Amino acid sequence: MRQSIINLLLVIGIAIGLNVIGNYFYDYVDLTEENRYTLTEPTQQLLQGLDDVVYVKVYLEGDFPAGFKRLQKATREILDDFRSISGEIEYEFEDPIPNSLPVEEKNARIKQLRNDGLKAKNLNIRDGKEQRTVRFYPYAVLNYKGRAIPVDLVGENIPGMSSHEALNNSVGLLEYKLANAIQKLQTSRKPVIAFTTQHGELPRANTQDIRNELRSFYDVGDINLDSLVQINPGISVVIIAKPRISFSEKDKFKIDQYVMNGGKVIWLIDAMNVSLDSIGRRGAYAPYPFTDDLFNLERLLYNYGVKVDNSLVMDLQSTKIPQIIDERGTPQLFPWPYHLVSIPNQDHPVTKSLGPVNLLFANTLDSVRTKTPIKKTFLLTTSERSKAQLFPMRLSFEVLKTKPDISTYNKKFQPLAILLEGEFPSLYENRPKGDFLAVYKQLGFEYKTQSEPTKMLVVADGDIISNYADAENNRYAPLGFNRYEEYTFANKDFLINAIEYMIDDNGVIAARSKEVKLRLLNEPKAEEEETKWQLINIILPLILLILFGIGYNYWRRWRYAR
């Protein structure tokens, strides 16, 4: 009896000791197929470089369904993973608005959260036969050296995606979102994003939403190429947003040499002059190319590996526009095949888990061979049911009155946005440079014929970055908001992800590619076999316990009877 008590105390002591040691040492072996519990190498390097405490406050405590308990558990696990790499990670979970608070304090707390950039989300919870709405804040706020960044832990949802899949997306993006926030907090100098001007680009009002979004983490401004001798290589990304006036040879040379010095460019180009208003005013309209040489950019883009065609894409996967259907002026929405809905490539960090993107009167893109090897990735394409109308063409709303002939929509996955990565050749390597090259060299700037490793994005639609603006009332809609269907597409997320990918030298965005596979319970089969598994789970352990007791008593008798 004494020996049994000693053995029991020993087992208890070992268990307590292991728990104490486990509080100081956190580790595990990741046996999952997709390595879901293994941090990417860039994230580990980022965490190892921390020189001060990152304090994370997670607002995932409170009354919400079991699904969000999974998000809570996954967030805790990823922060424990972070802490296993760096001792500078500290965190706590908090209920942002406890039910015990008086009404006045709750209202004050809601106002404070809103001022901190945390927008409430409403969640419907069913208790038996009753349904109630709960306000919750699925955010983590990261603090580092006096700076703070809120992170929305709920991932981007794609229409048609189930709640299980949406939650799975959220879990899969946790590492990237938290690591990306830490990287931004570590950056002492904001990267610079510059929009070109003086070439008929979109007015500031039509790019106001993305400018405001970018200003949280970037310095955003405009550059007039005509007033510069050289584009500052310190500018992280140059955005050319829907030009309407041709670029001079000097301006092209400045862009080319900016690229040669490792500069990144986002080209948002319309080849055809067309809009809904132009069709509406005339009833029928024959679009025409803005210029014969794409604003004098055709050869430059061709040299970098892309050709923008004088064409318009039609796609059965599209948004709707209103049309008057009777004498009383009653509007009705009809699918308009020139307003495309593109489902992004889910295999790339820029577009992983991203919702659909809306493009208006998009052109097609062609990939062309370059002097140097360039990696080309199609980030946006048409659906399986699309076609291209080549110039010349005629547009009218008559197409809405008849059912589309599906057999003619026989082109699939036509490129709409191409990401280019590599060392680009200069357009001016074997061409006359004019007097501006002499001035360029006289000022001490180095002329280069091949670029450093860099990236570009070419999108065959300038409106992808344009938000609806009400100039008279100085108001604008969110970027991607379709005012006819009252739905916000992922245009802004697509462009911001592209910018982050282009300037991310540490590779943290690779965590966006991490896949967390969804292994759901087969509910019909579970219901069908419910009784069988209940018996197995309840009776089988009892049978095994009885057999063990009988066997143990038999063994004791056999041992001590000798």
Mean predicted lDDT score pLDDT of the chain: 84
Put simply, whether the predicted model's pTM sits higher than 0.75 gets the answer yes
CA 116, distance to chain mean position in Å, is 22
Instruction: Output the six-digit token pair for 429.
Output: 């390597």
186-224 pLDDT, tens digit each: 887 889 999 999 999 999 999 999 999 999 889 999 999
How many Å apart are CA 148 and CA 57, to the nearest integer?
10
How many Å apart are CA 27 and CA 543, to the nearest integer?
36
pLDDT reported for residue 550: 82
Q: What is the DSSP string of 204-248?
A: GGGGHHHHHHHTTTSEEEEE-GGG-SS--TT-SEEEEES--SPPP
Provide the H-helix boundaries in 270-309: 276-282, 298-304
The radius of gyration of the chain from alpha carbons, rounded to an integer in Å, stands at 30
Please list, in sequence order, all residues whose beta carbon lies within 8 angstroms of the beta carbon of residue 409, skipping any fewer than 6 positions away.
314, 315, 316, 385, 386, 387
How many Å apart are CA 289 and CA 415, to the nearest integer?
19
pLDDT reported for residue 212: 94
Strand partners, 9: none
pLDDT reported for residue 160: 47
519-536 pLDDT, tens digit each: 445 556 666 777 777 777
Q: Which parts of the chain sit beneath pLDDT 70?
A: 1-13, 15, 17-37, 64-67, 123-134, 155-166, 432-434, 513-527, 561-562
CB 455 within 8 A of CB 421: yes
pLDDT reported for residue 535: 77
Strand partners, 133: 124
Q: Count how many residues are written for the chain.
A: 562
pLDDT reported for residue 3: 55
pLDDT reported for residue 123: 66
Residue 205: Cβ within 10 Å count: 16
81-122 pLDDT, tens digit each: 999 999 999 999 998 888 788 888 888 888 888 888 888 777
The HSE-up count of residue 531 (CA atoms within 13 Å, CB side) is: 1
How many Å apart are CA 76 and CA 129, to the nearest integer?
32
Instruction: Output the six-digit token pair for 521.
Output: 């319970």
How many Å apart are CA 103 and CA 400, to the nearest integer?
54
For tokens 């900016």, the residue is 258
**Alpha-carbon torsion, ordered 98, 101, 105, 106, to 10 deg:** 40
C-beta pairs of 77-80 under 8 Å, 24+ apart in sequence: 77/37, 78/174, 78/175, 78/178, 79/178, 80/26
Strand partners, 132: 125
pLDDT reported for residue 27: 53
Prior bond of 392 cis (ω within 30°): yes
